[in-house]
Structure formats: structure tokens, C-alpha cells
Amino acid sequence: MRLLYRLLLHAIDNHGLRGTILRAIRPPRQSTAAPEPSSPEVHPFDQRHHTDTSGYVPGEALATGTPADLYNTAYYAISPSTLTQAIAALPISPTQYTFVDLGCGKGRALLIAAHQNFRHIAGIELSPTLAASARTNTTTHPNITIQTADAATVLYPPGPLVVFFYHPFLAPLLRKVLTNLTDQSNNRDIYLLSANPGYPKVFARFPMLEQQWTKDFTLSEEDASADRHGILFERYTLWHLPPTA
């Protein structure tokens, strides 16, 4: 039952309630159906940097034996070109902020942030397997640290933060993650940057998060060619969490 419930959550997340119902009652496709989207095995980013952040890992392959497994989402790394543009659009000086990636996976976003002059860079990843890959990929960057931890309970590093995530949480877990973040906002400035955030009703429960902008950033030709889903842009939203006394 747990597996069926998790599969239902994933289906609703990907297709919406109506789409999930239609897919459930649709007759099975014959062998002439279009194949699943594919992408090159190794992204050019990894070829240049001698890293291993490519590939797609389904959520069910990332089980940790904890209740959070029910809400696992797949691993698929962010497009380097769009995250670089999104960071450039932040209304801050990165040298004053720590960049935190929640659900950092194999560490691609951390490596991108390493070239943007952040004071410090931290990756939070629940999967021990992905966290180990992130540590391997970031060994040449001493200002990057990886913590195997739950984003819903993690203790954030001190000082101003830019917290990033790339849709790693289903709604029930996202509520806990945002609660944990807002509970730690005392006396510091926090920006929350999300790629394809979804769940606007969840964010609406946190009025202290002040939405700054939503922007579409175009994938570079290289990223578009490598993208598994054939997308041409990523949508990012930025929120500001002002310091509280």
C-alpha cells in the first residue's frame, strides 16, 4: 500500500489529478507508442569538469529506510546554464551569503555555485549514495561541504543564506522543509530560490516568504541537447525571508 500511495503522489505531481485519472482509465498503449525521453549518458558539464553528476535515478531507487522514502522524488541534475542565469539575477552580493542546496543529489548545483563567489557552499542530501557521489565530485572545492541529513530537520549554517532546491520534495515534505527554514530565520537574511517549485498552496501557508520574482531562463544549446525531457527553459521563483527579531 505504501508503494501504491507513493506512486499515486508521483503521478499527481507529474500529471495533475485529472491527468492521473485519464492515464489510469486509458487503454494500454501498443508497441507503437513513442519511447521514453532519453538523454546522453554523460552531460558535457561532467566531461569538462571530470565529474559524475549526470543521469536519472528514480525515487524508488533512493530508499533510505526512513518514513521520508514515501515522498522520494527522482534525481535529475539542474541545467548549468539556467542556474547560472538565476544566480546572476539574485539581488545580493554572493560573497556575503552561504549557498545551501536542499536535496543536492550528486552536487552539480554546488559546483555551479562554486564559480559564483559565495562565502560558503553546503549540500544537504538524504540519500547516502547520492551524498557520497557529491563528496567525490566536490573534493577539489574546499569551500563545499556535504551533509547527509533530512532537509525537514537540518540545522542551517549561520549567517545570510541563499537556499536552493530543484523540486526535490512532494507537498507533505515541502511543508516540513519550509517550516524548518522559517523557524531558523532569526536575525539573518534568507533568499529561497527554487527551480520549477510547484505547490503554490503550500507556499501560500508561509506568508513570511515574500515572492520577489518568477523568471524563465532559456537553456543553452548544449543543455537543451542533453536534456532528458527536451525542455527549452526552466522556470525559477525567488522568495525573500527577511530577518526576524
Q: What is the pLDDT of residues 98-130, one digit of tens each?
A: 999 999 999 999 999 999 999 999 999 999 999
- DSSP H helical segments within the chain, as ranges? 2-25, 44-49, 80-88, 108-113, 128-137, 171-183, 200-204, 221-226
User: What are the residue boundaries of the structural domains of the chain, listed by start?
Assistant: 75-241
Q: What is the DSSP string of 27-70?
A: PPP-TTSPPPP---SS-HHHHHHT----SEE-GGGG--SSGGGG
How far is the C-alpha of 59 from the C-alpha of 188, rounded, in Å? 34
Output the pTM of the full model.
0.83
| Percentages of the chain per state (helix, strand, coil), in multiples of 5 | 35, 20, 40
Percent above pLDDT 70 for the chain: 83
20 has pLDDT over 70 = no
pLDDT in tens, 126-184: 999 999 999 999 999 999 999 999 999 999 999 999 999 998 788 899 999 999 999 99
CATH superfamily of 75-241: Vaccinia Virus protein VP39 (3.40.50.150)
Residue with the larger pLDDT of the pair 61 and 225: 225
